[in-house]
C-alpha cells in the first residue's frame, strides 16, 4: 500500500492528520454528549450551534479523508484506463507523466457519505424531545429542513453519477447538456414545494422606469417583481452555468479544485454573516438589519438563519474535500479531477444557493468564471475555430507556460476577423498578423498553393486585407493572463488565478453589501 502512496498522490501530511483527527472527533462528539445518560455536572454546557460545530468537525474529517483516499484508489483507476497525460509537463502529449483521472469520484463519494452520516446532527433535538413525549418529538421534527437536505443530496448524487458516466464513456456534447438540468430537478421541486419564492427585487431606478412605461408587475409601491415560471427557468439554468463554468476554467494543475475551494469559502463567509453572533453596529454597516425594511423581523423568525445554517452544513465539508483533493492535484499534479468533480462541486453550489435563496449572491462569486465564459463564447459557438485543447502551451526549455494559439491557414472570415480585432482592441487576445510580401516568399509551397486555390485571390484584394490574421491566442482567462503577465510557471499561473478569484470574492462582497444597499435599499432576500 505504501508503494502506491509513493507512486500515486503526494504523501499525506502525517502531522496534520494526527492533529486534525482528534479535533474533528471532539467537535463531532461534543454535541452528542447530552444524549448519553451522563450526570449533568460532568457535561460542559452544550454549544450554541451544535450541528454547526459538528459540521466543522465533518469538514476537517472531509479534508483528512480526501487526502488519504486519493492515493489509495489511484491504482484501481489507472488499471481501468482512467488516466491522462499531464500536458503541461516535459514530454506533453507524447511522453508526459501519466496521472490518474476522474478522482473527483472518490472525493464526491466520500463527501456524500459524510453528508449522509451528518443527517442526524441538524435533526438531533428529536433525540431529547422523544425521551419526554413522543408526540411532541414527532411534531417538532424539522421535516422541511430534512426535505431540503435530502433533495440537495439527491441532486449532488445525480450530478456525481452522471459526471462519472460522462468521464467513463465520453458522452457527446448534446447528450451532456441536460445532465445538470436533470440533476437539478429534485432541488427545484422541493424549492417549489417549499413555497418557492419567484420574485426578484429590482433596483429603484429600473423599477420606476418600468412603471413609467406602463408595465405594472408585482405589488404596487414595492420594487419586487414576481417572475413566476421565468424564475424557474433561471433556476434551471443556474446549475448548468455553475457546473460548466468551472469545467471550462481548467487545464492547469490545481485550478479547478482551487476555484471550487475559494468559492466554497466565500459562500461560507457569506453564510456566517447571517448567523446571529454579530454586534448590531457591524451588521448595519454591512447593509443588514435596516429595521424599516422588515429585515430584522424576518431575521428574528429564524428563517434566514436556518437557511444559511443549512448552507453552511453543505459548504464547510465541501471546502474540506476540495482542500484535501487539492493536496494531490497541486503542482505537480498526482491526480486529475475529471468532469466528476466539476459537476459535483458546481451542483453543490447551485443546490445550496437555491435552497438558501441567495442565487444572485452566488453568481457574484463566479465573476472570473463569467469572464472566462464570455471570453470563450466566440470559440464555443464557432465564431472562431476551437482546437481540441485550449490550455496554455508548455515550453520545456524555460519550464514556463506561454499562451496557446489558434492558427488560421486561410485569412479568417469577416465575422471572425471583427470578433478578434474587437477582442484585441480590448486587450483580451494577442493577434499575429502576416506581412503579405514576407509571407508570400516565406510560405512553404503547399501553403501557398492552398492559399491561391482558396477563395481569396491575392491580386484583387483591397489594401486592408493584405495583412491578415495568422494566429490568435485562445480565448480563455488562462491565455489572457499569460498574454499580459508574460510566460509564467504553471504553479504561479494557478496561484494568480486563485488570487484573482479571491479578489473577485472581495469585489462580490463589496457589490452585495456596499453597492447593493445603495442600489436596492435594504430590501433584499
Q: By the criterion CB under 8 A, which residues form the site for a copy of itself? A: 73, 76, 80-81, 105, 109, 112-113, 116-117, 119-120, 123, 126, 134, 138, 141, 143-144, 146-147, 150-151, 153-154, 157-158, 160-162, 164-165, 168-169, 182, 185-186, 189-190, 193, 195
CA distance 66 to 35: 30
Contacts of 45 (CB under 8 A, 6+ apart): none
Which C-beta is closer to a copy of itself: that of 157 or that of 261? 157
Least distance between a copy of itself and beta carbon 179 (Å): 11
Which C-beta is closer to a copy of itself: that of 38 or that of 117? 117
Least distance between a copy of itself and beta carbon 125 (Å): 12
Least distance between a copy of itself and beta carbon 196 (Å): 10
How far apart, in Å, are the Cα atoms of 115 and each of 55, 153, 267, 423?
9, 8, 18, 44
Least distance between a copy of itself and beta carbon 123 (Å): 7
**Cβ pair 239, 184 in contact under 8 A:** yes
Q: Which residue has the cell 425521551?
A: 131
CA distance 358 to 274: 12
Least distance between a copy of itself and beta carbon 337 (Å): 17
Which C-beta is closer to a copy of itself: that of 7 or that of 80? 80
CA distance 434 to 337: 40
Q: How many helices (H) and strands (E) does the chain have?
A: 25, 9
CA nearest to 257, candidates 299, 318, 202: 318
The CA-based angle 482-340-253, given to 5 degrees, is 30
Least distance between a copy of itself and beta carbon 7 (Å): 18
CA distance 509 to 502: 11
Which C-beta is closer to a copy of itself: that of 87 or that of 185? 185
Which C-beta is closer to a copy of itself: that of 147 or that of 284? 147
Which C-beta is closer to a copy of itself: that of 45 or that of 81? 81
Which C-beta is closer to a copy of itself: that of 82 or that of 400? 82
Contacts of 447 (CB under 8 A, 6+ apart): 409
Least distance between a copy of itself and beta carbon 35 (Å): 13
Amino acid at each position: 500500500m505504501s508503494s502506491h502512496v509513493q507512486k500515486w498522490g503526494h504523501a499525506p501530511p502525517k502531522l496534520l492528520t494526527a492533529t486534525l483527527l482528534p479535533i474533528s472527533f471532539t467537535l463531532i462528539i461534543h454535541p452528542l454528549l447530552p444524549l448519553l445518560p451522563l450526570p449533568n455536572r460532568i457535561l460542559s454546557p452544550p454549544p450554541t450551534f451544535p450541528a454547526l460545530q459538528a459540521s466543522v468537525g465533518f469538514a476537517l474529517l472531509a479534508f483528512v479523508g480526501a487526502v488519504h483516499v486519493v492515493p489509495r484508489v489511484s491504482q484501481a483507476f489507472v488499471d481501468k484506463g482512467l488516466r491522462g497525460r499531464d500536458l503541461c509537463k516535459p514530454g506533453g502529449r507524447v511522453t508526459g507523466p501519466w496521472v490518474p483521472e476522474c478522482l473527483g469520484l472518490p472525493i464526491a463519494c466520500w463527501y456524500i457519505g459524510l453528508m449522509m452520516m451528518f443527517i442526524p446532527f441538524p435533526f438531533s433535538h428529536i433525540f431529547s424531545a422523544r425521551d419526554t413525549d413522543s408526540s411532541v418529538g414527532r411534531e417538532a421534527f424539522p421535516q422541511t429542513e430534512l426535505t431540503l437536505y435530502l433533495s440537495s443530496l439527491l441532486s449532488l448524487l445525480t450530478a456525481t453519477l452522471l459526471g462519472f458516466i460522462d468521464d467513463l464513456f465520453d458522452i457527446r456534447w448534446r447528450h451532456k447538456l441536460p445532465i445538470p438540468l436533470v440533476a437539478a430537478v429534485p432541488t427545484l421541486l422541493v424549492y417549489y414545494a417549499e413555497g418557492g419564492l419567484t420574485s426578484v427585487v429590482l433596483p429603484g431606478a429600473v423599477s420606476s422606469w418600468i412603471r413609467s412605461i406602463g408595465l405594472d408587475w408585482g405589488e404596487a409601491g414595492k420594487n419586487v417583481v414576481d417572475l413566476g415560471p421565468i424564475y424557474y427557468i433561471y433556476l434551471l439554468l443556474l446549475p448548468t452555468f455553475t457546473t460548466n463554468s468551472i469545467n471550462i476554467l481548467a487545464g492547469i494543475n490545481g485550478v479547478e479544485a482551487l476555484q471550487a475551494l475559494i468559492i466554497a469559502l466565500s459562500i461560507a463567509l457569506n453564510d456566517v454573516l447571517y448567523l446571529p453572533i454579530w454586534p448590531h453596529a457591524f451588521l448595519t454597516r454591512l447593509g443588514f438589519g435596516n429595521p424599516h425594511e422588515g429585515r430584522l423581523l424576518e431575521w428574528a423568525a429564524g428563517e434566514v438563519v436556518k437557511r444559511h445554517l443549512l448552507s453552511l452544513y453543505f459548504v464547510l465539508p465541501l471546502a474540506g474535500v476540495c482542500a484535501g483533493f487539492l493536496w494531490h492535484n497541486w503542482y505537480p499534479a498526482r491526480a486529475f479531477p475529471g468532469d466528476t468533480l466539476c459537476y459535483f462541486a458546481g451542483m453543490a453550489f447551485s443546490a445550496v444557493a437555491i435552497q438558501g435563496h441567495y442565487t444572485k449572491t452566488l453568481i457574484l462569486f463566479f465573476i472570473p468564471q463569467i469572464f472566462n465564459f464570455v471570453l470563450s463564447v466566440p470559440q464555443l459557438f464557432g465564431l472562431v475555430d476551437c482546437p481540441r485543447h485550449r490550455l496554455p502551451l508548455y515550453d520545456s526549455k524555460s519550464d514556463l507556460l506561454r499562451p496557446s494559439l489558434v492558427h488560421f491557414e486561410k485569412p479568417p472570415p469577416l465575422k471572425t476577423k471583427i470578433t478578434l480585432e474587437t477582442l484585441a482592441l480590448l486587450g483580451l487576445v494577442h493577434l499575429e498578423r502576416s506581412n503579405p510580401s514576407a509571407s508570400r516568399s516565406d510560405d512553404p509551397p503547399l501553403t501557398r498553393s492552398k492559399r491561391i486555390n482558396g477563395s481569396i485571390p491575392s491580386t484583387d484584394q483591397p489594401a486592408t486585407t493584405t495583412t491578415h490574421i495568422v494566429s490568435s491566442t485562445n480565448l480563455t482567462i488562462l491565455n489572457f493572463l499569460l498574454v499580459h503577465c508574460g510566460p509564467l510557471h504553471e504553479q504561479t499561473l494557478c496561484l494568480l488565478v486563485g488570487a484573482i478569484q479571491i479578489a473577485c470574492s472581495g469585489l462580490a462582497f463589496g457589490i452585495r453589501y456596499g453597492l447593493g444597499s445603495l442600489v436596492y435599499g435594504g430590501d433584499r432576500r
